[in-house]
Amino acid sequence: MTVIDNMQPSDESIAAGNGVIGQRMLRKEDPALLTGEAVFTNDMKVPGALHLAVLRSPYAHAQIVSVDVSGALAMDGVLHAYSGADLADQWAAPMPCAWPVTDDMKNPPHYPLAVGKAAYVGDGVACVLATSDAIARDALEAIDVEYEPLPAVIDLESALADEVIVHDELGTNASYTWPLVIEENEGDCQQAMDTSAYVVKERYVQQRLIPMAMEPRAVVAMPQPFGGDITLYTATQIPHVLKVMTALTLGIPEQQLRVVCPAVGGGFGSKLDVYAEELLCVQLARTLGKPVRWNEERGENTQATIHGRAQIQDIELAADENGKITGLRVRLLADMGAYLQLITPGIPLLGAFLYGGVYEIPKAFDFSCTGVFTTMTPTDAYRGAGRPEATYAIEHAMDALAREMGIDPLELRRRNFIPKDAFPYEAYTGLVYDSGDHDKAATVAEDLVDYAGVRARQAEQNTPDATKRLGIGVSTYFEMCGLAPSRVLASLNYAAGGWESATVRVLPTSKIQVVTGTAPHGQGHETAWSMIAADKFGVDPADVDVLHSDTAIAPLGMDTYGSRSLPVGGVAISMACDQVIDKARKIAAHQMEANEDDLEFAGGMFTVKGSPDKEMPLAAVAFEAFTAHDLPDDLEPNLEMQVTYDPPNFSWPFGTHMCVVEIDTETGNTEVLQYVAVDDCGNKVNPLIVDGQVHGGVVQGLAQALYEEAAYDSDGNLQSSSLAEYLVPAASDVPSITLGESITPSPTNPLGVKGVGEAGTIGAAPCVMNAVVDALSGLGIRDIQMPASPVKVWTAIQEARNNTQENQQ
């Protein structure tokens, strides 16, 4: 095993490939998914399983006075029923929060079923085990819970004012305040605010979002017949982290637990967690000695699975008379929800390093985030996890600055871009951006959208009486992904590491196995990882098997989130392949009686320079390694190497998005006429997969801008609790997407790759909202908060028109 960091890139290693990397190879995952053969967790057939159903609080905030499960127990088919109090002694520890962002962070104990108090609508208070899902759910209605309702806490500023305390034992709703002040001299930021030619002061609301993966969560916990082992099948993005956390929370030996992800139907961060139902199923299966399963209905999912975003952002952006940024101050008020789940408190902080965007920012940066508890579903990672929020704030504020200065927003950005030759660039934060070419990405986008042409059309079309107004939006972004080097995570108090593991083995019968610690849920890792190996070995990707998502088969890993799988996991695989080839080379050289240096390896074959009759295929080397009849003295048998790679840096994809919108001023409706995305994620292993990630990411960002909001009423009821009310758009509601090309390899890893899973989402929301405000600013409208629903846009237009009339009177 080797831990490698600080690896320098090798242009040779990319060039020396066998031509597989970069192909738009069709996905290996597809046939099983297309024919219905793929098994998602709730597809599993588990004879004799007990079905778990969870009774959830209908109140956002209430004392639980009593729980009477006798009515449920009396029903046919109901085997067990428990209140939170009944199970209180089952847990060795509260549910984990793996990111104590500050030493004094307040983290109230959170158990799989609430005892004493329910803290959000959806908080589990009791559960039932029955012979079928239908009976279990019927039985919930027979459980009698007496609640004493308390006032809900919905508004973040009221939460911060501690008008009503959510967790009595804390005495406050504030969980933490985390500052990041970067100044040459103390007071620089304030000075910039005081003395700069321009200061824009903006407040933005990142509305609460529901990740809404199409597969609702599901769990099957299966105890093994002897020995106390238990297998947890679950729709998760984090089998390895979940294994450790489950063992700790239940107080069971980690080695007795195996976590397996069947096919997982999307995650976007919502399956990056340790959930009550997973813990309940495992613990009940262990104690009862029977399989226990649970599946989530969508109406449950919208309440019982984590939400995203939910911040109030106050940003002050100072600039000199030319529009060069002189200072930046950000205050965040972040909604934790009722409890801290796995990385809830850290999400807003992941964006802290990105408020400077793609611009040259001096050390006059003052950031602080306060996390507060409310009586709503807990928040946690959702596609982009803190970085879309940060990008929104800077990109939307830049447009505000451009309008104040009376210059074109693209021009303002160009004045501030970090120039290409400045990379690797040490930013104001001390982080080093690996590579970037913002002007190129912007130019490609500009040409594709015909920026000048749209501006000309806009000038003609947007007369004061125009029914339909045209707007063009720009966003230029950096994304910080791959999560991080483990040492950086340590400095942030993040409780896990940032490495990834790969084992590559060539079987005696010549097929190649890649064992990865990544946990795909739609990203095509089986395809992409087999391409990496096939490219190294010169074999057909069909001859490479990728094993993943089972902690018995792939015991080492840090799972999939944060756009980390390729820049960390894929790189680990390429390194393991290199090590296997090195060993194979030694064996081949020994057996062909040649010098290692004279060996060439291509197309799966070792040849000897100058001896055209000597060759040894990889398959033969593998078999020789297996029989071990004639190996060099210091070499062990078998052809298998394991690498754990800890990245030396984040990876920094970047890009420019532009879009054209048309707003019907009579209805407030926004139509996106055109969307262009230029996303530079370095080298692309499979451009087909990359394109798909960008498309999907863009639509989620666009949906935040125009459609989605997890709306709560003042009593803390989620009003948009179904897909009928929570507006995930369909194909009919979104545009096609034009992709532009920009490839700037990363110098920090030998594949030259960066992540891309979240980039589309990061660029999209500010792009669309910049277009919306661009269309409307001519009417005197300063800003619109997301989502730019028709009623909101129309109302803003009315107010602006009334103001104009008043001003004219």
By CB under 8 A, the residues from 254 to 283 that bind another protein are 263-266, 268
For the residues of 736-787, what is the DSSP string, one character each? Answer: --EEE------TTSTT-B---TTHHHHHHHHHHHHHHHHHHGGGT----PSS
Residues 575-594 that bind another protein (CB under 8 A): none
Single out the residue of 1, 8, 35, 808 in contact with another protein (rule: CB under 8 A).
35
3-state secondary structure (DSSP) of residue 163: coil
**Minimum distance between the CB of residue 333 and another protein, rounded to whole angstroms?**
24
Cα–Cα dist 678/682, whole Å: 12
**Minimum distance between the CB of residue 395 and another protein, rounded to whole angstroms?**
20
Regarding 426 and contact with another protein (CB under 8 A), the answer is no
Regarding 29 and contact with another protein (CB under 8 A), the answer is yes
User: x/- site string to another protein, residues 283 to 322, per CB under 8 A?
Assistant: --------------xxx-----------------------
**Minimum distance between the CB of residue 700 and another protein, rounded to whole angstroms?**
7
**Minimum distance between the CB of residue 28 and another protein, rounded to whole angstroms?**
10
Regarding 40 and contact with another protein (CB under 8 A), the answer is yes
Tell which residue, 142, 101, 106, 145, has the closest CA to residue 123.
145
Regarding 719 and contact with another protein (CB under 8 A), the answer is yes
- The nearer residue to another protein, 357 or 757, going by C-beta atoms, is 757
Please give the single-letter amino acid code of residue 624: E
Report the run of H or E that residue 674 belongs to, with start and end.
strand 669-680
Regarding 1 and contact with another protein (CB under 8 A), the answer is no
- The nearer residue to another protein, 261 or 318, going by C-beta atoms, is 261
**Minimum distance between the CB of residue 32 and another protein, rounded to whole angstroms?**
8
Interface region with another protein, contact rule CB under 8 A, candidates 316-324, 472-480, 532-540, 729-737: 729-737
Tell which residue, 9, 107, 96, 18, has the closest CA to residue 649.
9
- The nearer residue to another protein, 16 or 39, going by C-beta atoms, is 39
- The nearer residue to another protein, 46 or 288, going by C-beta atoms, is 46
Single out the residue of 34, 74, 459, 635 in contact with another protein (rule: CB under 8 A).
34
**Minimum distance between the CB of residue 731 and another protein, rounded to whole angstroms?**
4
Regarding 228 and contact with another protein (CB under 8 A), the answer is no
**Minimum distance between the CB of residue 720 and another protein, rounded to whole angstroms?**
6
**Minimum distance between the CB of residue 299 and another protein, rounded to whole angstroms?**
5
- The nearer residue to another protein, 383 or 505, going by C-beta atoms, is 383
Please give the single-letter amino acid code of residue 33: L
Single out the residue of 269, 570, 697, 763 in contact with another protein (rule: CB under 8 A).
697
Cα–Cα dist 419/442, whole Å: 12
Please give the single-letter amino acid code of residue 319: A
User: x/- site string to another protein, residues 326 to 365, per CB under 8 A?
Assistant: ----------------------------------------
Q: Is 240 exposed, middle or buried (0-12, 13-18, 19+ CB in 10 A)?
A: buried
Query: Quick one: three-class SS letters along 278-292?
Result: HHHHHHHHHHHCCCE
Q: Do 556 and 501 contact (CB within 8 A), yes or no?
A: yes
Regarding 688 and contact with another protein (CB under 8 A), the answer is yes
- The distance of Cα 604 from the centroid of its chain, to the nearest Å, equals 37
Regarding 756 and contact with another protein (CB under 8 A), the answer is no
- The nearer residue to another protein, 45 or 629, going by C-beta atoms, is 45
Single out the residue of 7, 23, 27, 457 in contact with another protein (rule: CB under 8 A).
27
256 is written with which tokens?
């007795």
- The nearer residue to another protein, 700 or 749, going by C-beta atoms, is 700
The size of the interface with another protein (CB under 8 A), counted in residues, is 77
- The nearer residue to another protein, 263 or 431, going by C-beta atoms, is 263
Single out the residue of 33, 73, 180, 432 in contact with another protein (rule: CB under 8 A).
33
Residues 193-222 that bind another protein (CB under 8 A): 212-216
3-state secondary structure (DSSP) of residue 682: strand
Single out the residue of 181, 247, 711, 743 in contact with another protein (rule: CB under 8 A).
711
Regarding 691 and contact with another protein (CB under 8 A), the answer is yes
Regarding 727 and contact with another protein (CB under 8 A), the answer is yes
Q: Do 211 and 298 contact (CB within 8 A), yes or no?
A: no
- The nearer residue to another protein, 36 or 612, going by C-beta atoms, is 36
Report the run of H or E that residue 478 belongs to, with start and end.
strand 468-478
In sequence order, the β-bridge partners of residue 676 are: 658, 738
Tell which residue, 184, 171, 205, 121, has the closest CA to residue 389.
205
- The nearer residue to another protein, 219 or 431, going by C-beta atoms, is 219
- The nearer residue to another protein, 35 or 809, going by C-beta atoms, is 35
Interface region with another protein, contact rule CB under 8 A, candidates 238-246, 454-462, 724-732, 773-781: 724-732
Regarding 700 and contact with another protein (CB under 8 A), the answer is yes
Single out the residue of 614, 733, 747, 780 in contact with another protein (rule: CB under 8 A).
733
Tell which residue, 218, 281, 282, 222, has the closest CA to residue 253.
282
Single out the residue of 37, 184, 447, 596 in contact with another protein (rule: CB under 8 A).
37
In sequence order, the β-bridge partners of residue 318 are: 199, 327
**Minimum distance between the CB of residue 214 and another protein, rounded to whole angstroms?**
4
- The nearer residue to another protein, 53 or 274, going by C-beta atoms, is 53
- The nearer residue to another protein, 70 or 722, going by C-beta atoms, is 722
667 is written with which tokens?
């209805």
Q: Do 489 and 498 contact (CB within 8 A), yes or no?
A: yes
Query: Quick one: three-class SS letters along 38-52?
Result: CCEHHHCCCCCCEEE
- The nearer residue to another protein, 88 or 688, going by C-beta atoms, is 688
**Minimum distance between the CB of residue 559 and another protein, rounded to whole angstroms?**
16
Query: Quick one: three-class SS letters along 215-267?
Result: CCCEEEEEECCCCCCEEEEECCCCHHHHHHHHHHHHCCCHHHEEEECCECCCC
Taking the alpha carbons of 213, 218, 219, 220 in that order, is the dihedral positive or negative? negative
3-state secondary structure (DSSP) of residue 397: helix
Query: 492 Cβ partners below 8 Å, 6+ apart?
Result: 99, 101, 346, 349, 484
Query: 478 Cβ partners below 8 Å, 6+ apart?
Result: 354, 357, 358, 391, 433, 436, 652, 653, 654
3-state secondary structure (DSSP) of residue 136: helix
Single out the residue of 1, 45, 76, 809 in contact with another protein (rule: CB under 8 A).
45
Regarding 734 and contact with another protein (CB under 8 A), the answer is yes
Residues 136-165 that bind another protein (CB under 8 A): 137-138
**Minimum distance between the CB of residue 330 and another protein, rounded to whole angstroms?**
30
**Minimum distance between the CB of residue 447 and another protein, rounded to whole angstroms?**
20
Cα–Cα dist 751/730, whole Å: 36
Regarding 43 and contact with another protein (CB under 8 A), the answer is yes
Regarding 403 and contact with another protein (CB under 8 A), the answer is no
Single out the residue of 669, 715, 778, 780 in contact with another protein (rule: CB under 8 A).
669
- The nearer residue to another protein, 137 or 590, going by C-beta atoms, is 137
Residues 511-570 that bind another protein (CB under 8 A): 521-524
Regarding 799 and contact with another protein (CB under 8 A), the answer is no
Query: 799 Cβ partners below 8 Å, 6+ apart?
Result: none
Cα–Cα dist 771/786, whole Å: 13
Residue with tokens 């197309």: 603
Instruction: Name the phi and psi angles at 412, rounded to 5.
Output: -60, -40
Regarding 70 and contact with another protein (CB under 8 A), the answer is no
